[in-house]
Amino acid sequence: MKIVYSGKEFDVQESINGFEAAKLVDPEKKNKALAFRQDGKLFDMNHVVNGGEISFVMPEDPDGFEMLNHSCSHLMAQALIHLYPGCLFGFGPAIEEGFYYDVDFGDRTITEKDFPAIEAEMKKLSKEAIPYKRKEVSQEEACEIFKANHYKVEHIKELEGTISLYEQGDFVDLCRGAHVPNTSYLKHFKLLSVAGAYWRGDSKNKMLTRIYATCYPTKEALEEHLHILELRKQNDHRKLGKELGLFMLSDYAPGMPFFLPKGQIVMNELTSYWRKLHARENYKEITTPTMMSRSLWETSGHWDHYKDNMYTTKVDETDYAIKPMNCPGAMLVYKNDIHSYRELPLRLSEMGHVHRHEASGALNGLFRVRAFTQDDAHILLRRDQIESEVKNIMRIFDEVYNVFGLSYRIVLSTRPDDFIGEVSFWDESEKILAQACKDSGHEYQINPGDGAFYGPKLDFKLRDSMGRTWQCGTIQLDVNLPHRFGCFYIDENGEHVEPVMLHRAGYGSLERFIGILIENYGGAFPTWLAPVQVRLLPVNDAAHGEYAKKVYEDLRNEGFRVEIDEATEKLGYRLRAAQVEKVPYTVVLGNNEAESGSVTYRIYGQKDQITVSLEEFKKLLHNAIDQKLRF
Ligand SMILES: [Zn+2]
Ligand SMILES: [Zn+2]
């Protein structure tokens, strides 16, 4: 039998397994590989190799990480049956950064206090190197094996064909596999948290205990991940937002953030950056009303399809709705004039404040809100302009995300089952969006069937400094809304033609974007966004207060956001306070500075103190702000 490995062909005996194949083709991997791949499928190492092309799953690979974590969920379950006999298991999948298992502990409550005992049992089982054994049984046999667990039986009854089980020692689980060879492959794991989770996510079902945990290939990788988790906790935007005085929430308006003076500065800076950029790119800014009458929302289709998410009211016997989206308003603006084909693309931008009803349980700081500002734009264009305009938008997004040091990936969502319009238009549009990605040098993933009912879309998933991804930007193609509103332009021959539309947002929601930035920067905003850019510390008020005032006036007149922290406290204390409040530039003013007209500054998070003339300091600040440097 022939197998191909890493481009080379090997003649091997029939019916060798993964271990034996590894020994022949790449001996180093024999005891390290978790499983092998053949024809796009994963197999346990002790499974027979059927010839053809094979490769090995190593712990560092993305599917290796998933396999470690999935296997570790079985290991945790085995530890749990030893410690809590009779507990019943629901689902226990690998997730992006680890795994969880949903468990019915009966009357017992499991908390984080129980974690050390569970981890100790897992360590013990790991040392025993218990093999994972695959078994295939019929549905009836599976039901018999799991008869004590109605969750598993319910699941088995939904499956078809033979059912695979994985057995390790005294524990057996329903599972597709593949798995690592034995429990000793799992050494670097940590239980993280517990939460309640309804069986199958349905609130009519029993609430199970979900235990979140993670498993990494090495001790270092696990420690690094735990460090990031700790950072995420410290940088939680709800906590920092309060400490830094950026925003507040009130029970008088759940999910509708209030921006405090310092947070408003961040909001204003983001907005003015956006405004300048879009003016350069020939966008025309508009503002449309917050509340518009029912008939508008009927025309747009929102009244029929989106009413549950809208806040409505009655004025003079007429139904009104607060806008959940800016699109219908933009349509009215477009229709206010007759447009020639020469005016297209017409780019109508709007910082639109929208309201959407979210369940109260889903609300989360600035991340999940009921009121937010979209950096929206509706671009009306001819069909032959779609590709170049999408590229234009991608260029703008690229520029914006770069400023914040956020990398991203793009997802193309294609025609859903429930779509409107012609299939040919969809096919063509999807091709255009894909081509735009390729031409601008971006890879993209396809999310089949996840487009909006009116057109395909590109979503931009940003990655922050702590390894999380956030869906922010979006470009959506729409043929529906211009049609519903009877929009047209006059073409070369004087005919009325329906334009197509692109909806697009870069930040997505300003509120959410600010939440992301707070966490991404750990509250230490770059100078251009920082609510206070410079804090002046006179060493002694009597001797240096006068000079500090002069510097203050000078910097203020140049437009910098500057404060004086007078010498009511010791210098060391005030220096620490400036660090805690994450002010980019802390300036100490003493005898030397006052005599020579200089300043001694220290940058946030750095130890060096640097003395420069006041003029030079201003230049340096201007540069940091104009270039949008971190400091
Ligand atoms: Zn499994
Ligand atoms: Zn829109």
Give the domain-ending residue among 487, 520, 553: 520
At 70 the pLDDT is 96
Q: How far is the CA of 270 from the centre of ligand 1 (A)?
A: 46
At 14 the pLDDT is 86
Answer yes or no: do 432 and 365 share one domain: yes
Which of 179, 356, 370, 415 is catalytic? The answer is 356
Give the domain-ending residue among 497, 520, 543: 520
User: Do 381 and 317 contact (CB within 8 A), yes or no?
Assistant: no
Alpha carbon separation from 300 to 317, 374, 504 (Å, rounded): 21, 19, 17
- In this structure, what CATH number is given to the domain that contains residue 374? 3.30.930.10
Q: Name the residue range of residue 441's domain.
A: 258-287+337-520
pLDDT band at 314 (very low <50, low <70, confident <90, very high): very high
User: Do 346 and 381 contact (CB within 8 A), yes or no?
Assistant: yes
Among 287-291, 468-472, 563-567, which range has the highest average pLDDT?
287-291
- In this structure, what CATH number is given to the domain that contains residue 168? 3.30.980.10
Q: How far apart are CA 45 and CA 38, in angstroms?
A: 11
- Our count of domains for the chain comes to 4
Name the average pLDDT for the chain. 94
Answer yes or no: do 35 and 72 share one domain: no
Is residue 305 domain-resident? no
Answer yes or no: do 595 and 454 share one domain: no
Residue 409 confidence (pLDDT) above 90? yes
User: Do 179 and 74 contact (CB within 8 A), yes or no?
Assistant: yes
Answer yes or no: do 267 and 136 share one domain: no
What is residue 359's DSSP assignment? Answer: -
Answer yes or no: do 137 and 51 share one domain: no
Is residue 426 domain-resident? yes
Which of 38, 374, 385, 533 is catalytic? The answer is 374
Residue 304 confidence (pLDDT) above 90? no
Q: How far is the CA of 265 from the centre of ligand 2 (A)?
A: 27
- In this structure, what CATH number is given to the domain that contains residue 30? 3.10.20.30
Is residue 211 domain-resident? yes
Ligand nearest to the Cα of 178, by number: 1
Answer yes or no: do 544 and 432 share one domain: no
Q: 599 CB contacts (<8 Å, ≥6 apart)?
A: 551, 587, 588, 589, 593, 611, 612, 613, 614, 617
- pLDDT, tens digit, 9 for 90 and up, residues 56-79: 999 998 889 999 999 999 999 999
- In this structure, what CATH number is given to the domain that contains residue 570? 3.40.50.800
Answer yes or no: do 81 and 34 share one domain: no
Answer yes or no: do 416 and 468 share one domain: yes
Which of 378, 561, 574, 582 is catalytic? The answer is 378
What protein residues have CB closer than 5 angstroms to ion ligand 2?
327, 503
Residue 6, token pair as written in the block: 């890493």
Nearest alpha-carbon partner for 485 in 329, 305, 307, 325: 329
What protein residues have CB closer than 5 angstroms to ion ligand 1?
175
Active-site residue, 143 included: no
Average pLDDT value for residue range 268-296: 97
Is residue 203 domain-resident? yes
Average pLDDT value for residue range 357-380: 94
Active-site residue, 234 included: no
Active-site residue, 550 included: no
Q: Does the predicted model carry a pTM greater than 0.75?
A: yes
- pLDDT, tens digit, 9 for 90 and up, residues 235-260: 999 999 999 999 999 999 999 999 99
Q: How far is the CA of 130 from the centre of ligand 1 (A)?
A: 15
At 452 the pLDDT is 85
**Out of 99-103, 120-124, 179-183, 361-365, least confident range:** 361-365
Ligand nearest to the Cα of 164, by number: 1
Active-site residue, 278 included: no
Is residue 243 domain-resident? no
- Beta pairing partners, 319: 314
At 126 the pLDDT is 97
Could you write out the DSSP letters of every residue in 283-343?
-EE----SEEEHHHHHHHTHHHHSGGG--EEEETTEEEEE-S-SHHHHHHHHHTS--BGGG
Answer yes or no: do 52 and 77 share one domain: no
Active-site residue, 127 included: no
Q: How far is the CA of 49 from the centre of ligand 2 (A)?
A: 53
Answer yes or no: do 514 and 569 share one domain: no
Is residue 35 domain-resident? yes
Is residue 248 domain-resident? no
Is residue 319 domain-resident? no
Active-site residue, 374 included: yes
At 420 the pLDDT is 79
Q: How far is the CA of 378 from the centre of ligand 2 (A)?
A: 6
Alpha carbon separation from 207 to 71, 88, 104, 106 (Å, rounded): 24, 12, 8, 10
Q: How far is the CA of 475 from the centre of ligand 2 (A)?
A: 10
Which of 376, 459, 464, 478 is catalytic? The answer is 376
pLDDT band at 1 (very low <50, low <70, confident <90, very high): confident
Answer yes or no: do 176 and 49 share one domain: no
Nearest alpha-carbon partner for 504 in 326, 266, 271, 251: 326
- pLDDT, tens digit, 9 for 90 and up, residues 493-552: 999 999 999 999 999 999 999 999 999 999 999 999 999 999 999 999 888 999 999 999
- pLDDT, tens digit, 9 for 90 and up, residues 10-22: 998 888 999 999 9
Average pLDDT value for residue range 151-157: 94
Answer yes or no: do 426 and 552 share one domain: no
At 425 the pLDDT is 85
